[in-house]
A and B are shown apart, each in its own frame.
Chain A
Amino acid sequence: MEPLIDVRDLRYRYEDGTLALDGVDFRLYPGETVALFGPNGSGKTTFVLHLNGLLAGEGFVSVCGLRVEKRNLKEVRRKVGLVFQDADEQLFMPTVLEDVCYGPLNLGRSPEEALVAASRALGQVGIEHVRDKAPYHLSAGEKRRVALAGVLAMQPDILVLDEPTTFLDPPGRRALLAVLRGLPQAKLIVTHDLWFARALAHRAVFFERGRIVRDGPLEAVATHFGWDLRAGPEAVLDPEG
C-alpha cells in the first residue's frame, strides 16, 4: 500500500544551530491514526511543520505521492490539514463563518462553494450555532473545533493535530474526541495526553532529540516506556520526558 506521508532521513537545523530533526523516517498509511509522543523540544512540532512545507529541511518528504516542494505547496496544503496547538493563532477573521471559509477561498473556490464547504465542516464538528460569532468570544473547546472546521473545509486527506487537548477541560476533550472519531481522514496527533491517544490511535511514535526512537502499536510502545494505558482522562505524560 502506498503511504499517504512518506518521510525519509529528514534533518532540520534551526538558525541558532539547534539540531531539531536528526534523520527522521516515517510513513503514514490510509486509515491510520498515529500518536506522536515525546518530551518538549524533541522535534515533534518541527516535524509536522515539514508535512505541509512550512519548514523545509534536508531529506525526502512526500504527501499523497507529491514531493513537498515549492511548486506543489498549494496542493500539499490542501491535502494536509494542520490544526495548530494554539487555536488563537489560527483564527483571525471577524466571524467564525468567514474564518472557516478562509481556506477554501484561498484554494480558489467560489464564495458559494466556500460557504457550502464551511457549513459542512461546521456541521462535522457540531458547532454550526456559533457561525456568526467572533472567534475570540468562544470557549477554548469551541475555538479548537472551529480551528478544526477551518481545516476540514479544505477537504484534506490527512489531519495533523498539534497537541489538540491543550487548554481543554475534560468535557472539551471528550467532545473533541467524539468529533475526531467520526472523521474518516488518516490522522497524526502530537500529544502528551495518553487517555486521548489511546482512545484514537493504534500506533504510536516516540520522538527523542530529533529522532524517532520507537514506532509501533500503541500498547507495545506503552509497555516499553512503562505507561499505564488503563489510566483515566487525567493521564498525561510528563512533557519534560
Chain B
Amino acid sequence: MHHAVLERWSRGGSPWHARDARMKVLLLVAFLGAVATTPVASAASLAGYGLVILAAAFLAGLPPGAVLLRAAVVLPFSATFALVSLAGGDHQRAAALVIRSYLSAAAVLVIVGTTRMPKLLRALEWWRLPRFFVLVTQFLYRYLFVISEQAQHMRLAALSRGGWRFRPAAGAVAVLFARSYARAEGVHHAMLARGFQGQMVLLTPARAGWRDWLFLLGGAAVLAALRFGLEGVWSR
C-alpha cells in the first residue's frame, strides 16, 4: 500500500532532516509569528519568506514544486474568508489572509516533511504542549494511515469489480468508518500489548549539538532580517 508522501519525505537524510526537532519547532513558531505580523504591504518580506521556504525545501531534498502544490490545500479555506473581506471592500486584508495562510502551510509542510512524527511529537511535548493534544495528534496520525489503507483496499476492490462511482463510493464511507474503527482497535491493542503507556519513547533521545544551535541562530537571524530589516528598507 502507498504511504503518505509526508512520511516518505520525513525519512530523508539531509542535514535539514538531522536537525533537532525542538529547534525546528521553535523556528517554525518564529516563522509563523513573523509571517502573521508582517504588514501585507511589505511585499519584499513576504517574497523573502517564500524564498526561505523554497530554499529550505531544496536543501532538504524535498521537491519544491510538490511542497508549493500541497500547501495550496489551505487556499479554499482562506479564500472563503478572503472573499468575505473582499466583499467588505478590504482588499489588503483579503490578500493578507491568502498569502499568510499559504506561507504558513508551506512552512509547516517543510518542517513536518523533514521530521519524523515520533520526534516531532516528542519535541511538542518538550515544549510543554498539553499532553492530551500530543496524544490526540499521535493517534490521529497513526489512524490516518489506517483509514487511508482501508480506503485504498476498498477502492481497489471496487475498481476490480467494474468501477468507483460516486454513489457506491458515498455509501462506502460508512463501511470505511466501521472497518477503520475495527482496524484502529487492533492497532491500539498491538501498541498496548507491547507496553505502550501513552508516550512514544525514542530510540535516539533528542540532543542538540552545535549544528542545531547554528541552525536555530541562523534561522532566527534570517527571520529577523525579513521581518524587520526588509520592512525598514521597503518603508524608506
**Which residues of A approach B to under 8 Å, CB–CB?**
49, 52, 54, 74, 77-78, 82, 84, 86, 88-90, 92-94, 97-98, 101-103, 105-107, 111, 114-115, 134, 136, 150-151, 154
Q: Which of A88, A92, A106, A115 contacts B195 (CB 8 A)?
A: A106
Among B173-181, B184-192, B221-229, which stretch is in contact with chain A?
Answer: B184-192
B203-232 residues at the A interface, CB under 8 angstroms: 203-205
With A84-B189, A94-B116 in contact, is A74–B203 under 8 Å at CB?
no
- Tell me whether B194 and A150 are in contact (CB under 8 A): yes
| B235 cross-chain contacts in A, Cβ below 8 A | none
Task: Please give me the residue from chain B that is nearest to A80 by CB atom.
Answer: B193
Q: With a CB–CB cut-off of 8 A, which chain B residues contact A136?
A: 1, 3
Residues of B141-190 at the interface with A, using a CB-CB cut-off of 8 Å, are 142, 145, 149, 183, 186-187, 189-190
Q: Are A154 and B186 interface neighbours, CB within 8 A?
A: no
Q: CB distance B189 to A93 under 8 Å?
A: no
B126 located at the interface, meaning its Cβ lies under 8 Å from any Cβ of chain A in the complex? no
CB atoms of B11 and A90 under 8 A apart: no
Residue tally, chain B, CB below 8 Å to A: 27
Partner pick for B194 among A86, A98, A102, CB 8 A cutoff: A102
Residue from B193, B197, B205 whose CB has the most chain A CB atoms within 10 Å: B193
Task: Establish whether residues A103 and B11, one from each chain, have CB atoms under 8 Å apart when the complex forms.
Answer: no
Ordered by A's residue number, 16 sampled pairs between the chains whose C-beta atoms are within 8 Å are A52-B193, A54-B192, A86-B186, A89-B186, A90-B190, A92-B142, A92-B190, A93-B118, A103-B195, A105-B201, A106-B194, A111-B202, A111-B205, A115-B203, A136-B3, A154-B194
With beta carbons under 8 angstroms apart, the residue of B1, B191, B195 that contacts A78 is B195
Q: Which residues of chain B are near A134, meaning CB under 8 Å?
A: 11
- A114-B203 in contact (CB<8A): yes
Which B residues are in CB contact (< 8 Å) with A82?
A: 193
* Cβ-defined contact, A77 with B193, below 8 A: yes
Q: Are B186 and A105 in contact (CB under 8 A)?
A: no
A84 touching B192 in the complex, CB below 8 Å, given contacts A92-B142, A105-B203, A114-B203:
no
Cβ of B196 under 8 Å from chain A:
yes
**Interface contact B194-A151, CB-CB below 8 Å:** yes
**A101/B196 in contact, CB under 8 A:** no
Q: Smallest CB–CB gap between A130 and chain B, Å?
A: 15
Is the pair A77, B190 in contact by a Cβ cutoff of 8 Å? Answer: no
Smallest CB–CB gap between A12 and chain B, Å? 14
| Whole-angstrom CA separation of A111 from B145 in the bound complex | 27
Q: Apart from A49-B189, A105-B201, what are 15 other A-B pairs with CB-CB below 8 Å? A: A54-B189, A54-B192, A78-B195, A84-B189, A84-B190, A89-B183, A89-B190, A93-B118, A94-B116, A94-B118, A102-B194, A106-B194, A106-B201, A111-B203, A154-B195
Say how far B135's CB is from chain A's closest CB, in angstroms: 15
Q: Would A101 and B203 count as touching, CB distance under 8 A? A: yes
* Option from A54, A98, A115 in Cβ contact (under 8 Å) with B193: A54
- A164-B202 Cα distance, complex, nearest whole Å: 28
